[in-house]
Amino acid sequence: MPHGYVGKLLRVDLTTRTATIDEPSDDFYRMHLGGWAFVAHELLTRTSKGLDPFDPENPLIFATGVASGTPIPGSGRHAVGAKSPLTGGFGEADVGGFWSVELKRAGFDAVIVTGASKTPVYLWIADGNVEIKDAAHLWGKETAEVQAAIREQHADNKIRVIQCGVAGENLVRFACIISDVNRAAGRTGLGAVMGSKKLRAIAVRGTGNVEVADSEGVKEVVDYVLGLRENFENFNKYGTGGGINAMNEVGRLPTHNFREGTFEGANHIAGTTMTEKFLVDTDTCHACPIACKRVTKADGEYKVDPVYGGPEYESLAALGSICGVDNLEAVMYANQLCNAYGLDTISTGVTIGWAMECCEKGLMRPEESGWIEPRFGDYEAMTQLVEQIARREGLGDLLAEGSLRAAQKIGRGSERFAVQAKGQEFPMHDPRWQFGLGIGYATSPTGADHMHNFHDSGIESEAGANGMKSYGHFIEPAERTTLPDQKAVLAATVIRGQVMNNCVGICMFLPYRMANFVQIVKAITGWNVNELELLRVGERALAMARLYNAREGFTASDDTHHPRFTESLIQNGEAGASIPDEMMSEAIDLYYDLQGWDKATGAPTRAKLLELSLDWAIDILEEVKTS
- 48 & 148 share domain: yes
What is the tens place of the pLDDT at every residue in 527-572? 999 999 999 999 999 999 999 999 999 999 999 999 999 999 999 9
Long-range pairs for 143-148 at CB < 8 Å and ≥24 separation?
Answer: 143/178, 143/181, 143/339, 143/340, 143/341, 143/342, 144/181, 144/305, 144/307, 144/308, 144/340, 146/200, 146/201, 147/180, 147/181, 147/201
Residue 71 φ/ψ, nearest 5 degrees: -75, 0
What confidence score (pLDDT) does residue 368 get? 82
216-240 burial string, b = 16+ CB within 10 Å, else e?
A: eebeebeeebeeeeeebeebbebbb
CB 194 within 8 A of CB 164: yes
* Cβ atoms < 10 Å from Cβ of 604: 28
- 455 & 393 share domain: no
Q: Is the dihedral of CA 406, 408, 413, 416 positive or negative?
A: positive
CB 163 within 8 A of CB 147: yes
- Whether 533 maps to a domain, the answer reads yes
Where are the extended beta strands (E) located within 165-263?
A: 177-179, 183-185, 199-205
Nearest alpha carbon to residue 397 among 372, 378, 415: 372
- Tell me how far the alpha carbon of residue 578 is from its chain's centroid: 26
Q: Which spans in 345-436 are helix H? A: 345-360, 379-391, 395-399, 403-410
- Whether 431 maps to a domain, the answer reads no
- Whether 542 maps to a domain, the answer reads yes
CB 446 within 8 A of CB 92: yes
- Whether 196 maps to a domain, the answer reads yes
Widest pairwise Cα distance in the chain: 66
- 421 & 442 share domain: no
What confidence score (pLDDT) does residue 469 get? 87
The CATH number for 569's domain is: 1.10.599.10
CB 101 within 8 A of CB 162: no
- 496 & 608 share domain: yes
- Whether 3 maps to a domain, the answer reads no
Mean pLDDT, range 253-271, rounded to an integer? 98
Say how far apart CA 348 and CA 325 lie, in whole Å.
14
What is the tens place of the pLDDT at every residue in 332-377? 999 999 999 999 999 999 999 999 999 999 999 888 888 789 999 9
Please count the structural domains in the chain. 3
- Whether 313 maps to a domain, the answer reads yes
What is the tens place of the pLDDT at every residue in 280-313? 999 999 999 999 999 999 999 999 999 999 999 9
- 508 & 538 share domain: yes
Say how far apart CA 111 and CA 72 lie, in whole Å.
22
Say how far apart CA 360 and CA 355 lie, in whole Å.
9
- 415 & 459 share domain: no
- 174 & 145 share domain: yes
- 252 & 201 share domain: no
Range of the domain at 362: 234-425
- Whether 218 maps to a domain, the answer reads no
What is the tens place of the pLDDT at every residue in 438-468? 999 999 999 999 999 999 999 999 999 998 9
337's enclosing H/E stretch is helix 328-341
- 376 & 421 share domain: yes
- 269 & 184 share domain: no
The CATH number for 178's domain is: 3.60.9.10
Partners of residue 296 on adjacent β-strands: 279
- 406 & 270 share domain: yes
What is the tens place of the pLDDT at every residue in 135-157? 999 999 999 999 999 999 999 99
- 132 & 272 share domain: no
Partners of residue 12 on adjacent β-strands: 19, 113
* Cβ atoms < 10 Å from Cβ of 45: 12
* Three-state DSSP state, 458: helix
- Whether 611 maps to a domain, the answer reads yes
Does the predicted model carry a pTM greater than 0.95?
yes
